[in-house]
Amino acid sequence: MSGVPAFRLVEAGFSQPQPQVEALAEFMQTEAVRRSDLIEAKAELKADISGLRVELKAEISELRTEISGLRTELKTDIENVEHRFELQVSDVKGTLRLHNWMIGFNIALSLIILGKLFIAH
């Protein structure tokens, strides 16, 4: 046997002539995941998750700022629309008053003309 892991497998009960012992020992030495590999992978994942948390918090903060700006912009737009609506309502009210005066004047003038026609005959 060429490596120490194969020797340990023989000590554990595998017989020397088994070719699988050598192959298994070689696999375990080169390909098998060791505890240290798992610990390293876990640390990398934690670091990645931590980085993603920081990025996510930053993006949430940016979105909150953007939403706040949009809310302010929307309030301003609503106030502008309300102001224009109030101006238009004032214009309509003024126009209606003018029309009322014109109609009243025409009715009064018509009554005067009718009165003159009936009195004259």
- The model's pLDDT over 10-30, given as tens digits with 9 standing for 90+, comes to 677 666 656 666 676 677 777
Euclidean distance between CA atoms 104 and 83, whole angstroms: 31
Q: How far apart are CA 4 and CA 101, in angstroms?
A: 115
Looking at residue 95, what is its pLDDT?
A: 94
Q: What is the pLDDT of residues 69-107, one digit of tens each?
A: 999 999 999 999 999 999 999 999 999 999 999 999 999
Q: Where are the domains of the chain?
A: 1-32, 33-120
Dist CA 74 CA 68 (whole Å): 10
Q: Which ranges of 2-34 would DSSP assign to H, the alpha helix?
A: 4-11, 19-30
pLDDT band at 7 (very low <50, low <70, confident <90, very high): low
Residue with tokens 């012992």: 21
Side-chain half-sphere CA neighbours of 53 within 13 A:
6
Query: DSSP character for 32?
Result: S
Residue partners of 21: CB distance under 8 A and separation at least 6? 1, 6, 9, 10, 14, 15
At 37-71, the pLDDT tens digits run 889 999 999 999 999 999 999 999 999 999 999 99
Helix axes 19-30, 4-11, angle to 10 degrees: 130
Q: How is the chain split among helix, strand and coil, in percent rounded to 5? A: 90, 0, 10
For residue 15, what pLDDT is reported? 60
Give the pTM: 0.49
Q: What percent of the chain has pLDDT over 90?
A: 62
pLDDT for the residue 1:
42
**Residue reference for tokens 């949430």:** 60
